[in-house]
Structure 1
C-alpha cells in the first residue's frame, strides 16, 4: 500500500510552507491566486486529502451523519419497511447525541467517492446502505477505510475485507424458513432470491442449501429464481413459477416485497396461498400482516441495526474507535396463515 501524502509533501512539491498549505485548504485569506493554484495542483498530483478531513477540518464539524442509500427511479425507498426502519433507528440514536441525519441518494452510474463528502464538510461520518460486492464499491470502501474516517455498512458484509458492518444473521433466517417448509413434508422448495451482488442474497442461499443438506435433499438449481427485491420482480416471476407449482407447493422468497408480488401474480392465475401453495417471505414488513392470507416471514431487527450502526459511527467520531465492528443480529421466523 502506498504511503498517503501529507501536508509536508504538498508544501515541498508546491514550493511553499506547510502553513500556506493549511491556509489554502482552510480558505484563510489573504492568498495569492497563483499560490493557491500551485498548492491545489500539487495536492491533486499527490492525491492528497488533508489531515483536517479526519479532524472535520479544524474549522468545526457539520454535526451531520450521511446516510447513503441507492437511488431507484419510481421507487419511494422511505415507503418501504426495510429502509424506513433502518433510517428510523439511525435517526433515533443520532438524535440522542445531537447529530443530524443527512440522506444522500446515489445512482448506480455515479462514481463512488465517499471521501468527497468529508472534504466538502457535508458530513462528520457516514452510514452506507446498499453497497454491492463489485470492484468499484470495494475500491471506494477501501479508500474510506484506509483514511480512518467514521463509517459503517448496514446489511452488506465483505468477509475478506476489514470493513465495519452491522447485519442480520441471514444464513440462519433462511435456514429457519426453508426448514419450516421442509418439515411440512415439502421436499421441493422453490427459492426466490435477490442479486448475488448483495452478500445477504448469498447468505440466504447458503441457509437454504444448509437446510436441504440437513434433510438429505439434493439441491436443484431449477427451483432457484432471481429477482431484485422489488414487488414487481416477484410479480413478473409468477409466470415462470406458476407451472412448477404442479409439483412444488412450497416457496421461500428472500424478502416480503417479492413474496407479495409473487402472490399477486399467482392469484391472477387462480392460485391462493395456504390453499394451493405455501409461502414464506423475509423482513417482517408491516404489509406482511395485511396480505390475504397474512404472510409468514422472518423478522429482522432493522431498527436495532440502524441504532447500532449509528452508535459505531458516533464512537468513531467521539472516541476514536477504529476497532473492526462485524456484528450479525439474530433473526426469527414468524409463521402466519400463508404457510400453515
Structure 2
C-alpha cells in the first residue's frame, strides 16, 4: 500500500490510525490505495496505535436470584448505553461484581481493557468510595448512573427522583387520600434519600403530617413489597393508612399482589403509586400509577458525555445531569 500511494509505511500507519498531522493530499492518496487494495484495517491494531481499547466499560452488580437483563431499570439503561456506544464505534465490556467483591476498577484502565466506564448500581459504602476515589485520583473517565456521592464532584447522570415522589404524593392528596405511607429502598442509594425528601416535602407542603414511622424499607424487589404487604394491610384496616407511594414498580406490584390476596383492591380500598413506569405497571389489575423515569435517555446521556470528547481525543468536562420525570396516573390511584 505504501508503494502504491508513494509514501512511507509510517505515513500509511499514521493515516489509517488517525495519528499525528497529515496533509490532506497525502491522506487522500493513502485512502485511494487502501480502497484499490480492498484493505480493511484491524480494529485491534488501531486501538494499540491510538492507545485506546475501543471498549466502554459498564460495571454492574451481580445480585443473587436477580436476572438483571429482565429488570426494567437495567435493561433500559443498557439499551441506551449500547445504542450510543455503537454510534461512536465503541463496544461494551460488561463487568459484573459480587456484593462483597473488591472494587478494582482502576485495574481495568491499567490493563487498557477500557477507555472509560459507567458504573450502575453503585452504593454508598466504603469499598465503593475508595475505588471511586482511586479512579478520580488517576484522572480516569467514568460516570455514575443514578447514584451520587455528596461533595465528591463525580460525573453523574440521574433523574429527579425527589420531584417524582413529590408529584406522586400531591396526586394522591388531590384524590382525597390523606394518610399516605412511603415504601422506600435502602439508604445506601442516593435516590432513596431523594425520594424520602420528596415525600416529606410534599406532605408538609400540603399541611399533612410527616411521621418517620410511616416510612417502610424494602430493597426495590417485588418480594420485599409482597413481604411488607402484611404490615400495610394492618395499617389500612386500622385506619392509619389509606395510600402508599413505593420507590419502585416492583415493590408496588408486590404490595398490590399481597393486598389483593387479602381482599384489598388498589384504587378502591387504598391508593397506590409506584416508580419507573415499567412494562409491568401496565399489566397489573388495576393498572399501576407510576412515576416515569427516563432510564433509556439516562443511558444515552451518560455514554454520550464520556464518548463524545474521547472521539475528539479530549477528556470530558465535569458534568452532573438530572433528567425530568413524569407522573402517569392509572387505576391504582383512582386516576
Q: TM-score range by the shorter chain?
A: 0.7 to 0.9
CA distance in 2, matches of 1:118, 1:273: 50
CA distance in 2, matches of 1:103, 1:119: 17
Alignment of 1:67-216 (within 5 A): 67-216=58-207
Contact 1:57 1:121 (8 Å CA) reproduced: no
Contact 1:189 1:249 (8 Å CA) reproduced: yes
Structure 1 residue matching 2:310: 3-state secondary structure: helix
CA distance in 2, matches of 1:332, 1:59: 43
CA distance in 2, matches of 1:111, 1:266: 40
The match for 2:329 is: 335
The match for 1:249 is: 242
Which one of 275, 290, 298 corresponds to residue 297 of structure 1? 290
Contact 1:150 1:317 (8 Å CA) reproduced: no
CA distance in 2, matches of 1:197, 1:244: 27
Structure 2 residue matching 1:282: 3-state secondary structure: strand
Contact 1:289 1:295 (8 Å CA) reproduced: yes
TM-superposed CA distance for 1:321, in Å, is 3.1
The match for 2:262 is: 269
Contact 1:252 1:280 (8 Å CA) reproduced: yes
User: Structure 1 stretch 310-319 or stretch 292-301: which is displaced more?
Assistant: 310-319
Deviation track 1:183-230 (CA, whole Å, cap 9, x = no partner) reads 222221010000010000000000001101111222112211000001
Structure 2 residue matching 1:73: 3-state secondary structure: coil
CA distance in 1, matches of 2:121, 2:133: 16
Distance 1:131 1:57, change over 3 A: farther
CA distance in 2, matches of 1:173, 1:152: 23
TM-superposed CA distance for 1:59, in Å, is 7.1
- TM-score (normalised: structure 1): 0.81
Contact 1:69 1:128 (8 Å CA) reproduced: yes
The match for 2:55 is: 64
The match for 2:210 is: 219
List alignment gaps of at least 5 residues for structure 1: 1-55
CA distance in 2, matches of 1:97, 1:323: 18
Contact 2:88 2:311 (8 Å CA) reproduced: no
CA distance in 2, matches of 1:60, 1:148: 16
Structure 1 residue matching 2:275: 3-state secondary structure: coil
Alignment RMSD (CA, Å): 1.4
Which one of 296, 299, 304 corresponds to residue 306 of structure 1? 299
CA distance in 2, matches of 1:227, 1:58: 49
List alignment gaps of at least 5 residues for structure 2: 1-46
Structure 1 residue matching 2:94: 3-state secondary structure: strand
TM-superposed CA distance for 1:244, in Å, is 0.3
How many corresponding residue pairs? 285
User: Structure 1 stretch 135-144 or stretch 309-318: which is displaced more?
Assistant: 309-318
TM-superposed CA distance for 1:58, in Å, is 6.2
Which one of 312, 318, 321 corresponds to residue 315 of structure 2? 321
- TM-score (normalised: structure 2): 0.82
